[in-house]
């Protein structure tokens, strides 16, 4: 269907906000056909049916480029226990922590995982998301990692949202293994091969940290990803500096994520590789961390910065990208313009997607209409202004 959106305040995200007031967008099926001032609508599009935005702000559909939205169980009880004085070690000894999520995820079927995850997905959509990246990483067996990825793929069929899936078997060492290299060889790489063969993985991720895996332990996995033609990304420098960002950049990584302990050498490596630094304030906030990502240094080096929810059961139970934007500005001093770029153009780049993240002819017609006319409101308001409606694939949400 072809139609016109008119009387809009457009944040096209071309060169910053790329703001056009009293603007119009022409849609042709699921693509944007034309963008510009309402007064300049070409004759070709003049007869099309129109829908007025009444001056409201229109942005590209928001892109959550880092989430763990599919998992089993809940860790709200652990959150309460910590606030009542229990230590992480005590919680882990009692069967809590990431392994509790692993047990719940392993016990659930793919259909169960989908059913448990959809309420979280609905929250993300209600906050403006039109594309969501979803990682595996709580199964930690070949079969359970594939099950998670299948459930993540199914999200896109159950909801009006585009899903990008990421293989994250190298997330933690499961209790049945004591040797990390053996786990990579016996679970992470075989599950990656199976996921690629079944069309379940769009990219490969890993957790590079003292409590997870070192760069040399991850090298065989990333080499396999390269051989399979899959791009890589990395949880890097969240709690310490193991040189993960530079390691990932050496494989041409799409992104390095968290990056609180990122060194000048790591920044330079990301800049050379054209990799995105994904900023995840939800985990920083939940863990009450104090080491902030080097925003000014990343900015000076020209490293693009994305912002994402990191939605997960343990360290970032956050489903709102506008709230993540507010946190990125308030906690890390990103600007509202950088934050909006972080959930649109730079988030698309962090996923290797060139067909979304801007309002321009030829882009996928995923847009969000907000009950404001000021782009800064998306970061200023805690939780963001109200979403008026989404346009997904050129069609208005009901």
* CATH code assigned at 122: 3.20.20.140
Q: Which residues contact 186 (CB under 8 A, 6 or more apart)?
A: 177
Range of the domain at 88: 62-350
Among the listed residues 316, 363, 330, 371, the one whose alpha carbon sits nearest the alpha carbon of residue 344 = 363
Asked whether the beta carbons of 121 and 71 are under 8 A apart, the reply is no
Same domain flag for 250 and 205: yes
Per DSSP (E only), the strands in the chain are 2-11, 19-28, 31-37, 50-52, 57-60, 62-64, 129-135, 162-170, 203-208, 233-236, 255-258, 276-279, 305-307, 367-370, 387-392, 395-396
What is the domain count for the chain?
2
Q: Same domain, yes or no, for 151 and 298? A: yes
The per-residue pLDDT for 96 is 78
pLDDT at 270 over 90: yes
Q: How far apart are the first and last CA of the chain?
A: 16
pLDDT at 89: 65
pLDDT of residue 82: 83
Looking at the structure, tell me whether residues 285 and 379 fall in a common domain: no
Verify that 153 and 22 share a domain, yes or no. no
The CATH code of the domain that includes 387 is 2.30.40.10
Assess whether 273 and 374 both reside in one domain. Answer: no
**Is residue 61 predicted with pLDDT exceeding 80?**
yes
- Cα-based angle 151, 153, 158 (whole degrees, multiple of 5): 85
The overall average pLDDT reported for the chain is 96
DSSP 8-state assignment for residue 316:
B
For residues 104 and 135, membership in a common domain is answered with yes
pLDDT number for residue 88: 64
- If asked whether residues 245 and 295 sit together in one domain, one would say yes
Examine the domain organization and report whether 367 and 333 are in the same domain: no
99 and 176 part of one domain:
yes
* 384 — pLDDT class (breaks 50, 70, 90): confident
- 183-227 pLDDT, tens digit per residue, is 999 999 999 999 999 999 999 999 999 999 999 999 999 999 999
pLDDT of residue 364: 98
Torsion over CA: 319, 322, 324, 330 (sign): negative
Share of the chain above pLDDT 90, in %: 92
Sole residue written with tokens 């990395």: 234
Domain identity same for 373 and 337: no
pLDDT at 363: 98
Question: What does the pLDDT look like over 72-89, one tens digit per residue?
Answer: 999 998 889 888 988 766
Same domain, 163 and 27: no
Whether residues 138 and 8 share a domain: the answer is no
Q: What's residue 385's pLDDT?
A: 84
| Residue 155 pLDDT > 70 | yes
Q: Tell me if residue 140 falls in helix, strand or coil.
A: coil
Instruction: List the structure tokens of 125.
Output: 């959509």
């Amino acid at each position: 269907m072809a139609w016109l959106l008119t009387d809009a305040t457009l944040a096209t995200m071309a060169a910053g906000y790329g703001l056009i007031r009293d603007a119009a967008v022409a849609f042709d099926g699921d693509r944007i056909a034309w963008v510009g001032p309402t007064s300049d609508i070409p004759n070709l599009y003049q007869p099309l049916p129109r829908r007025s935005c009444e001056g409201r702000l229109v942005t590209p559909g928001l892109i959550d480029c880092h989430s763990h939205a599919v998992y089993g169980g809940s860790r709200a009880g652990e959150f309460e226990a910590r606030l009542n004085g229990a230590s992480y070690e005590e919680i882990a000894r009692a069967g809590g922590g990431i392994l509790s999520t692993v047990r719940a995820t392993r016990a659930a079927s793919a259909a169960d995982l989908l059913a448990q995850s959809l309420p979280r997905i609905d929250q993300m959509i209600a906050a403006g998301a039109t594309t969501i990246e979803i990682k595996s990483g709580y199964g930690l067996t070949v079969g359970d990692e594939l099950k998670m990825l299948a459930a993540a793929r199914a999200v896109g069929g159950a909801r009006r949202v585009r899903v990008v899936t990421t293989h994250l078997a190298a997330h933690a060492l499961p209790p049945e293994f004591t040797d990390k290299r053996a786990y990579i060889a016996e679970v992470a790489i075989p599950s990656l091969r199976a996921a690629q063969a079944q069309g379940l993985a769009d990219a490969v991720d890993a957790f590079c940290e003292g409590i997870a895996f070192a760069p040399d332990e991850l090298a065989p996995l990333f080499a396999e990803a390269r051989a399979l033609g899959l791009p890589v990304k990395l949880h890097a420098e969240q709690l310490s500096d193991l040189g993960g960002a530079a390691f990932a950049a050496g494989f041409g990584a799409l992104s390095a994520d968290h990056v609180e302990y990122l060194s000048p050498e790591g920044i330079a490596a990301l800049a050379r590789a054209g990799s995105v630094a994904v900023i995840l304030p939800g985990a920083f906030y939940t863990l009450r961390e104090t080491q902030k990502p080097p925003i000014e240094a990343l900015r000076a080096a020209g490293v693009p910065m994305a912002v994402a929810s990191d939605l997960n059961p343990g360290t970032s139970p956050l489903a709102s990208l506008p709230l993540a934007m507010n946190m990125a500005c308030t906690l890390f001093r990103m600007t509202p313009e950088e934050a909006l770029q972080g959930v649109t153009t730079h988030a698309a780049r962090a996923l290797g997607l060139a067909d979304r993240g801007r309002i321009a002819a030829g882009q996928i017609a995923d847009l969000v209409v907000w009950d404001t006319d000021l782009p800064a409101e998306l970061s200023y308001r805690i939780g963001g202004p109200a979403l008026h409606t989404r346009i997904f694939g050129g069609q208005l949400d009901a």
